[in-house]
Amino acid sequence: MAKRAAAALAAIAVVSAVSCGGGVGGGGTEIRRIGLDGIADVITKNGVAFDGDVTVDGRGSIRVAVDGPATIRLAQLADIDLEDAFLVYQASLRTERLEGETYLEMFCVFDGRGEYYSRGLDHALSGTNDWRTVSTPFRLRAGENPDAVKLNLFVNGAGTVWIDDIRLLRRPLR
């Protein structure tokens, strides 16, 4: 339990550093891009639909309509092969009449050690917003290579959220 608490504090510290402009910086090298041209590969199906008309990248987006708090599991990836860097989960979000807030959530899974998370609380959206690119980083030290990465969208409230153009980026620690 103490390890999870320490990891949670580390993730919060990373998010705070990013929101204050320290540590991660802009840009990054793309590791993987998640195409949202359908919902077949989206893990959570409840409240989720493909929207071919509302899109950032021209290929459609995922529309999430919820009546209350929900975690939308978008993808679980293996074979990331990254350490000694920031792993950054980036996506474009749009909201309509969202009562509450929505943000990105990423879990890094380490076999034998558990799951640790990073939440994009500093980029949370509420109300009605046009497309915004948001992100949440996870600091991986040397020797910390995740066995799996889970990408979620957390919606704490009722309303509609669109997500598009999901990317995993690598950014240097320095």
Q: What is the CATH number of the domain that holds 33?
A: 2.60.120.260
Residue 19, pLDDT score:
35
Number of folded domains in the chain? Answer: 1
Per-residue confidence (pLDDT) for residue 40, from 0 to 100: 86
Task: Quick: pLDDT tens for 82-110.
Answer: 999 999 999 999 999 999 999 999 999 99
Q: Cα–Cα distance between 12 and 14 in angstroms, integer?
A: 5
CA 144 – CA 160 distance, rounded (Å): 36
Tens of pLDDT, residue by residue over 3-47, are 444 444 344 334 333 333 333 445 789 999 987 888 988 999 999
pTM of the model: 0.83
Sign of CA dihedral 45, 148, 151, 62: negative
Residues 13, 19 contacting (CB under 8 angstroms): no
Residue range(s) defining the domain that contains residue 156: 2-171
The per-residue pLDDT for 6 is 41
pLDDT value for 125:
98
Query: In the chain, what percentage of residues exceed pLDDT 90?
Result: 74
Closest CA to 118 of 102, 103, 138, 134: 138
Q: Could you report the per-residue pLDDT of 43-64, keeping only the tens digit for each?
A: 999 999 999 999 998 999 999 9
